Amino acid sequence: MSSSTASPTPRPPGRRGIVLGALVALLLAPLLALIALGAPSASAATAGAAPAGCQFPTSDDGAIHIQGCLRDQRTSPPTPVPDVKVSVTGPDGAVIGDAVTDANGIFDVALPGDPLSNLNKDFTIKIDTDTLPENAALRDPSQVELKVNFNTTNNYTVTFPIDEPLPDPPGKFIEGLQLLVGGIVFALLLAMASLGLSMIFGTTGLTNFAHGEMITFGALVGLWVDQLPGKISLPGIGNVTVIVGVLAAFVVGGIFGYVNDRALWRPLRHRGTGLIAMMIVSIGLSIFLRSVFQYLVGGNNKSYSQYSSVEPWSIGQILITPRDVAVVLVALAALIGVSLLLQYTRLGKATRAVADNPALAASSGINVERVIAAVWTVGGALAALSGVLLGITQGFNFQLGFKILLLVFAATVLGGLGTIWGAMLGALVIGAFVEVSTLWIPSELKYVGALVILILVLLVRPQGLLGRAQRIG
């Protein structure tokens, strides 16, 4: 009996090749778009307009001097604004010194008393806006006072920018849209990591706490390619070092995932190690790998040599960098590619069968070990790709993956642990929520919001959005 009869519908020869070819094309096209960005990225740095010509007087009387330089920023170069009254109020509310700007727009107030006794006290510097020239006003009309507090006896410089008033801040709606754009970029990267985690859970039952390290690994492969001596250039296209790094991360990440399974998890499965024991092993692996990564690259933040500052495009009032567009396209290509593989190839169908019921899949002739090896390979590649793209968009350090691991968990649990479409849906919701929620909550607490969602979902719908209701307790 030939193996092809096992398939319900005979497949025209070469169809698999077409699918694979389409996949490769899908992946490569956005990368080419990234290449196009390579050239202008270097010119993106802009020189800040330094307040040239502000020569503050120096003195040796030992007192703390509060100094400032009023310049009308509407002209270029900025013109000094003379004859403006500035007063300094002490901690008790009494005026302790005042000054008028000279022809260079400079004022200088010496604080009376022992400089040491002036430390760690609140002083208020106030500008008398009535003495400003007729046509000039502060850029921020409400900011006529500045509160300062010294912890050294050095002179202190304050500024009152004189300029056109700032345009009204964008409304909540525009701000929300802008955050949503950032949220979608992040969500797609999260989705790649979540998809791998969910597939691994679905096929093996392992909750892999070392998945974050597979993400970090991708960013590190990108870094190592970037740090190779010399640049990788293609004739006619230019410097493609980081692009090569992205591709390398994808490929080496896949190998890393395969090796993970082959060297550690498969032997453990064959020994009959329990799932909770394996979960704790994955924690050990996470600590081990994270420390090794820190050993290799150190503790500081890293970024790649290209695309770290890119001039954004503006669409209406929304800003989006071409880099983010390319990242979104690469991520979409990878996600759609894996989805197509899962949906239409034999291996993909086998994967879904194993995720659904491993024992049944095995008894119907599916090689479960082969499926699991493929899942680890794809999961590792996706995680690494997610890591290197996260590195491109926001920089990274050795904790990159560990820091977002809980969000990856939140996404998979929200979508339904072990489901494939659920993982992606959950990641989209969590990723967008994390960014957009900063409209209402401080951005330092944005991850907290996502984790609260995770707990609420488990209260209300423990099987997740797309999970099948089953006993999980």
Partner 1 sequence: MDFGSILTFTIEQAFGPLAIVYCLAAIGLNVHFGYTGLLNFGQAAFMAVGGYTMASFVAVFGLSLWLGLAVGVLMAVVLALLLGIPTLRLRADYLAIVTIAAAEIIRQTLGSVTFDRKFDFGGQDGLQSNFVADFRALNPLDGPISIGPISWRVNDAWVMIVGWALVAICCVVVWLLMRSPWGRVLKAIREDEDAVRSLGKNVYAYKMQALIVGGIFGAFAGFIYGFYKNAVIPTDYATDTTFYAFTVLLVGGAARVLGPVVGAVIVWGLLSGLGAFFTQAARNDVIPNWLMNDQQASLMRFIILGLALMLIMIFRPQGIFGDRKELAIDGR
* Minimum distance, C-beta of residue 442 to partner 1, in the bound complex (Å): 5
The three-point CA angle 211-216-217 to 5° equals 90
CB of 190 to partner 1, least distance (A): 15
**357 belongs to the binding site for partner 1 (CB under 8 A):** no
Restricting to residues 29-48, name those near partner 1 by CB under 8 A.
Answer: none
Compare residues 82 and 205 and give the one whose CB is closer to partner 1: 205
Asked if 70 and 81 touch (Cβ cutoff 8 Å), the reply is: yes
Applying CB under 8 A, among 73, 104, 273, 345 the residue interacting with partner 1 is 273
In the bound complex, what is the minimum distance in angstroms from residue 362's beta carbon to partner 1? Answer: 17
The amino acid at 68: G
List the one residue from 51, 82, 161, 205 that touches partner 1 (CB under 8 A): 205
Of 286, 306, 377, 386, the one binding partner 1 by CB under 8 A: 286
Q: Does 279 bind partner 1 (CB under 8 A)?
A: yes
Q: Are the C-beta atoms of 419 and 198 separated by less than 8 Å?
A: yes
Phi, psi of 295 (to 5 degrees): -60, -40
> Which of 84, 225, 338, 413 touches partner 1 (CB under 8 A)?
413
Binding-site member from 22, 29, 95, 275 for partner 1 (CB under 8 A): 275
Number of other residues whose CB lies within 10 A of the CB of residue 464: 25
Strands 85-89 and 95-100: antiparallel
Rule CB under 8 A: say whether 194 interacts with partner 1. no
Q: Which residues have CB under 8 Å from 198's CB, separation 6+?
A: 412, 415, 417, 418, 419, 420, 422, 423
Taking the complex as a whole, how short is the minimal distance between the CB of residue 342 and partner 1, in angstroms? 23
Q: What span, in angstroms and rounded, lies between the C-alpha atoms of 309 and 187?
A: 21
Q: How far is the CB of 461 from partner 1 (least distance, A)?
A: 12
Nearest to 428 by CA among 344, 316, 328, 322: 328
The site map against partner 1 for 295-324 (x = CB under 8 A) is x--xx-------------------------
Is 276 an interacting residue with respect to partner 1 (CB under 8 A)?
yes
Q: Which is nearer to partner 1, 21 or 298 (CB)?
A: 298
- HSE-CB at 155 with a 13 A cutoff on CA atoms is 16
Q: What DSSP character marks residue 463?
A: T
Nearest to 467 by CA among 202, 255, 254: 202
Residues that bind partner 1 (CB under 8 A): 205, 207, 268, 271, 273-277, 279-281, 283-292, 294-295, 298-299, 406, 409-410, 413, 417, 442, 444-445, 447-448, 451-452, 454-455, 458-459, 462, 472-473
